[in-house]
Chain A
């Protein structure tokens, strides 16, 4: 388990390249997972812009939809979608490692913990889609 020490003990330390995470696929995957947070924040900004337009009334809201139709914004949102799905999948797969549940002295299989997470994801997505697609 890595610990972040702000004042590490003095001694021999191997210097690491700034680009260490390009060296191997698992490292790159780790950094991509961490960078997904930027796209999560981008979604929040978009949501706030949309609420702001909604406050200003139907006309302002309709005009604001042009923002989402801007090709650059669409491309950015497609990239963001990949990252947030990557976040969700890695998050649910990590859940069994974060919660090591034991029953009857035995470790509950990983699928028993990540499974319900995926199920909840599907249910939540279906309910939100239903609410937003009624017209």
Chain B
């Protein structure tokens, strides 16, 4: 007897996270991680940034931006360890670390986003 697999569900999260990561992360990483710190461009002021994210749309955007890519990471990294290092005997530990990490990360993100003034 086979247990019903939850693979389609986690694959859906992986896939949605892949789209979000591809569309939204490169430009933000370029600006915040490279262009602003190196002084190539002027970053937004504290007030501009706060105005952008303190409304419901801003908060929802941040939640999607954090949560879905974390599940994308969880799924992909799980198989990186599975295929790349072939540590199949640690399957359960790896799954707990990956999906558990994504769930904890999402909870932290939700808490922080809720606290935005």
Contacts and interface: CB of A to CB of B under 8 A. Distances in A.
B45 interface: yes
B60 interface: no
A111 interface: no
Contacts, number: 162
Contact of B29 (A4, A48, A81, A91): A81
Contact of B28 (A78, A120, A128): A128
B34 A54 contact: no
Q: From DSSP, what is the main secondary structure of chain A's interface residues?
A: helix
Given A34-B84, A41-B77, A125-B27, 14 more contacts: A16-B86, A21-B84, A43-B69, A48-B105, A48-B109, A50-B32, A54-B53, A65-B36, A69-B37, A88-B23, A121-B23, A132-B31, A134-B44, A135-B44
Interface extent on B, as a size class?
35 or more
Interface in B59-108: 62, 65-66, 69-70, 72-73, 75-77, 79-80, 82-86, 88, 91, 105, 108
Given A6-B91, A16-B86, A34-B84, A81 B26 contact: yes
Contact of B65 (A47, A91, A120, A133): A47
B117 A34 contact: no
A77 interface: yes
Interface of B: 17-19, 21-34, 36-38, 41-50, 52-53, 62, 65-66, 69-70, 72-73, 75-77, 79-80, 82-86, 88, 91, 105, 108-109, 112-113, 115-117
Interface residues of A, number: 53
Contacts of A54: 46, 49-50, 53, 116
B75 to A, nearest CB: 8
